[in-house]
Amino acid sequence: LQTRLQAGQGYGNTLNCVLTVYRNESVAGFFKGMSFPLASIAVYSSVVFGVFSNTQRLLSQLRHGDASHAPVLADVALASMVAGFVSVGIGTPVDLVKIRLQMQTQPYITANNKLKPTVPGFPMYRGPIHCFRTVLQKEGIAGIYRGVGAMLLRDVPGYCLYFIPYTFFCGWITPDGCISPNPSSVWLAGGVAGVISWGTATPMDVVKSRLQADGVYLNKYKGILDCILQSYQNEGLKVFFRGITVNAVRGFPMSSAMFLGYELSLKAMKRDQTETNP
């Protein structure tokens, strides 16, 4: 839904998008492009949370001489930015394949354009591997990393507004005297952080989706700035908030699950280390 609303044509709102996708593509339409993200989500999340955690520990070691020292706000912000930067290297190709598969049957409407290499409505890609291979062969590494600039502008500040609110809310919700937050605090703080992060990242998420969807049938945008200008001129300021409801709604449960898994995994590993090295 998010991709269709941000880069597709003819969807008035979220409900209309749901009904249109179901009417034209049945239930299967809601799961297009799912396999590639599903196969890579474990690696992606491990890298992001691992980079964030280890960067925090390194900064605490350099600043206080103790890796286990509670990080200050500046350390959390810097660790978040590093995690966001690293995540783009893994996330850009995955997002590109997902968006190309989701958008390949959408009608492409543009003025004064006579060249249409492939007729919209007929799939160009047979699956994620075929999509990845086709883009790589036709466009090279630059094609696989199409939209990387927009993704950097989305994820670097986006992860700051992901980890910083989480750290703040966890500290605020956790009762005094507790060494670590309880699962309910983690769940709530993670969900709120997800809503904040995805909500504020939506404008650049729209630009990224449009850049990555561009090229399924033809190339309309020359870059980030051109995409922003064309989108604004054609559809106004509201275009940059397309899909914000979907982003916010999915952000809560997704982020709650992520942070809960992260914190529980850390606790389990610390317990194992304590038992192994009493």
Residue in 209, 198, 9 with CA at minimum distance from that of residue 106:
9
83 domain residue, yes or no: yes
Whole-number mean pLDDT of the chain?
82
Residue 268 banded pLDDT, cuts 50, 70, 90: confident
25 in a structural domain? no
- Rounded Cα distance between 249 and 268, Å, is 30
Identify each DSSP E strand in 33-78 by its residue range: none
Residues 191 and 223 in one domain: yes
Residues 207 and 130 in one domain: no
Q: Domain for residue 28, yes or no?
A: no
User: How many domains, in total, are found in the chain?
Assistant: 2
Query: In whole angstroms, what is the distance from residue 105 CA to residue 110 CA?
Result: 16
Residue 26 in any domain: the answer is no
Residue where a domain stops, chosen among 145, 166, 200: 145
Separation between Cα atoms, residue 196 and residue 190, nearest integer Å: 10
Residue 128, domain extent: 33-145
pLDDT digits (tens, 9 = 90+) for 6-42: 766 666 667 777 777 777 777 776 767 677 677 778 8
Assess if residue 115 is contained within a domain.
yes
42-58 pLDDT, tens digit each? 888 889 999 999 999 99
Looking at the fold, whether 244 and 217 belong to one and the same domain comes out as yes
Summarised one tens digit per residue, pLDDT across range 145-170 is 999 999 999 999 999 999 999 999 98
How far does Cα 16 stand from its chain's mean position?
A: 23
**More confident site: 115 or 76:** 76
What pLDDT, in 10s, does the model give residues 198-215? 999 999 999 999 999 886
**What would the pLDDT profile of 117-135 be if each residue is shown by its tens digit?**
444 445 677 788 888 999 9
Of 83, 117, 145, which marks where a domain is finished?
145
Q: Which one is predicted more confidently, 235 or 218?
A: 235
Say if residue 162 is in the same domain as residue 265: yes
- Is 39 a member of any domain? yes
- What DSSP state is assigned to residue 180? S
**Domain match, 137 and 219 both:** no
